Structure 1
């Protein structure tokens, strides 16, 4: 059997005094904060996920399964050690493209909203997520794959998802496939995967943040590639956690290179791990022709409280009180659509979201309001 690791959802009990410590100048203190928070968390709904081999395609086809093709643009390097990883945690100077089709077992054989990781890859498609196909693409092949996806499913809307902190490549692919499938989203799913360490611990937070801040131009490049396809009429950006830093940088980069992207209609920032002032400044720089921006936040978000500590005590955009000043006035001035999800219930506030913004956003809202997860974030880390 392949080596496995536990990935658990943890109970929100980490808003302790230690979480408000200022970590600057003392790495050990930051790690103590993280360790204390993680020790306090109650493990629940733990699933085992393999360390290797997840993206090796299965040769077994089961009729009742659902096939979800995910198109991918990434700034990760190709993996040289694990063919079932495809792309590693190391950054690349050039964009790479790929397509992975994920097979999802029938709803009656699984818990909707969760990934059933194969205990031993390639897995059993009757009860586990498995990789049906996986392959690298060049830029031309990527464009053709977008066109084919649009024609095959009679779709003209693309949704670009940008994952957050602490995500491996296979984590992001499987999570996005699950999200699109369970939400029954009528979109062409495109994943942008930046080289997060996905190390399963908070020690990589600063590294991930630095890499995220350098990934915006590449995401803007992917946006241009999707937008240039005549089969795509509308694009929605959905970013999670630290991925929202990448997204804002991409939008600023696009503006600096020639203005807005008419096909980009909505940008949804879910539990954004960004300083409030940084966000307001970035949005203001986008100008009046920017897409509609939805902000989905929760004041009981444990992951963002830990991020606040790791960020030197700076309040994160995703857990402000939007009714308090100066937040309320600044958000109103920038015409940000705000959804405060505090105390909505469910077991994971860091991944709850959304009210109606458009037809696609309304469907996203339904999934996230039911406790849908969007990534492996700070409160769900475990030793890997």
Structure 2
């Protein structure tokens, strides 16, 4: 077992060397002359329980702290000729720049958010990142997805203190655990400030586990009115299947079926499963397997296999970016996924058409 873990660690390090990470300095507003005149600007509201570091506390660290709230305007450069037009094929250290940022207290942060939600049916969109993520990585990824939306959304990033280290898996799980109360309070505050808005939560990887734990706590706390406003999507969730079944038993059915994006060749989840004594992760399920179909029927969830989409990273762990690129509205709002009204197991082809569906009862 020790040898196997050393081999896995070596593989992780080798794969990670392929992707440059944006450094802290990219959080500082760029000079106007350094911005592309054709860049698309995206406003992202952020809330984080990371500690502040660097000069004047302008960077985000890996320790826990009180909640910090900001409003960022991000410039997303147009696709370069050498990468084509695919949204997900972006260099986080080159294709994004901070145009402006401002720190806000809680009342001003919510006022700014309400001002940006001008239409009554515009949902609140909340992204919770996963393991091994810096603040700026998750910020730019969310800006990247939002820039591809065909309809207007106002994204919110909840950033918990990941160690941003390949060897920090256990520490990240502990940090995600500590972040449960902060995320739950954020959801309560959003609902209190905009009670008639739906809240769409997208959790990625370990962030999916954090989302499920918070939903479980809210249900056990009797906050059913808030839960009726929540829609959930889990991308490549790093959750043990038995744990997920237990979480769903506590959460119960939501206003719309919970959606799970899975991929059988997700290297990151494969390694996570092997380190967990060969226990398959939820995000690595086979949608054609009768056991997966039975799970979707048992729990009333939508399990969607996106293995046919191009991999957006070396770990095949960020295919949700490819889904956003090919179907801009489907990542967090309507279109392909929203049309799958039934709980069940689905397999998509590269064009987003359903190759196979195993449908349960209408939700």
Which category describes the TM-score, using the shorter chain as reference length? 0.7 to 0.9
Confirm or deny that 1:268 pairs with 2:242. no
Unaligned segments of structure 1, at least 5 residues: 1-21, 120-127, 372-384
Report SS of the residue matched to 2:88: coil
Corresponding residue of 1:330: 295
Unaligned segments of structure 2, at least 5 residues: 339-347, 352-363
Correspondence 1:157-196 to 2 at 5 A: 157-196=123-162
Corresponding residue of 2:358: none
Corresponding residue of 1:206: 170
User: How far is the alpha carbon of 1:284 from its aligned partner?
Assistant: 1.3
Report SS of the residue matched to 1:76: strand
Partner Cα distance (1:86, 1:255) in 2: 35
Partner Cα distance (1:324, 1:65) in 2: 44
Confirm or deny that 1:226 pairs with 2:201. no
Report SS of the residue matched to 2:29: coil
User: How far is the alpha carbon of 1:132 from its aligned partner?
Assistant: 0.8
Partner Cα distance (1:63, 1:263) in 2: 43
User: How far is the alpha carbon of 1:239 from its aligned partner?
Assistant: 0.7
User: How far is the alpha carbon of 1:263 from its aligned partner?
Assistant: 5.6
Given the superposition, is the C-alpha separation of residues 170 and 34 from structure 1 closer, same or farther in structure 2, using an over 3 Å criterion? Answer: same
Given the superposition, is the C-alpha separation of residues 118 and 241 from structure 1 closer, same or farther in structure 2, using an over 3 Å criterion? Answer: closer
Confirm or deny that 1:65 pairs with 2:53. no
Once the two structures are superposed, residues 215-242 of structure 1 have per-residue CA deviations (whole angstroms, 9 ceiling, x without a partner) of 2221111111222223862211111101
- Report the RMSD for the aligned CA atoms in angstroms: 3.2
Confirm or deny that 1:88 pairs with 2:61. yes
Corresponding residue of 1:140: 107
Corresponding residue of 1:31: 6
Given the superposition, is the C-alpha separation of residues 103 and 369 from structure 1 closer, same or farther in structure 2, using an over 3 Å criterion? Answer: farther
Corresponding residue of 1:238: 202
Q: Flag the structure with more relative contact order, 1 or 2, with Cα contacts below 8 A and sequence separation at least 6.
A: 1
Corresponding residue of 2:117: 150
User: How far is the alpha carbon of 1:108 from its aligned partner?
Assistant: 6.1
Partner Cα distance (2:146, 2:26) in 1: 19
TM-score relative to the length of structure 2: 0.79
Once the two structures are superposed, residues 251-299 of structure 1 have per-residue CA deviations (whole angstroms, 9 ceiling, x without a partner) of 1121122322256342011110000010011011013455420111111
Question: Does the 8 Å CA contact 1:155/1:186 hold for their aligned counterparts?
Answer: no
1:53 to 22, 25, 29: 25
TM-score relative to the length of structure 1: 0.75
Per mean C-alpha deviation after superposition, the further-off stretch among 137-146 and 222-231 is 222-231
2:268 to 292, 303, 318: 303
Correspondence 1:288-299 to 2 at 5 A: 288-289=253-254, 291-299=256-264
Moved over 6 A (4+): 354-359, 368-371
Given the superposition, is the C-alpha separation of residues 361 and 276 from structure 1 closer, same or farther in structure 2, using an over 3 Å criterion? Answer: farther
Question: Does the 8 Å CA contact 1:186/1:360 hold for their aligned counterparts?
Answer: no
Aligned residues, how many? Answer: 328
Corresponding residue of 1:376: none
Partner Cα distance (1:57, 1:232) in 2: 34
User: How far is the alpha carbon of 1:326 from its aligned partner?
Assistant: 4.1
Partner Cα distance (1:332, 1:82) in 2: 53
Given the superposition, is the C-alpha separation of residues 252 and 231 from structure 1 closer, same or farther in structure 2, using an over 3 Å criterion? Answer: closer
Corresponding residue of 1:106: 78
Partner Cα distance (2:158, 2:77) in 1: 25
Partner Cα distance (1:253, 1:159) in 2: 20
Correspondence 1:340-351 to 2 at 5 A: 340-342=305-307, 344-348=308-312, 349-351=316-318
Report SS of the residue matched to 1:299: coil
Partner Cα distance (1:358, 1:66) in 2: 18
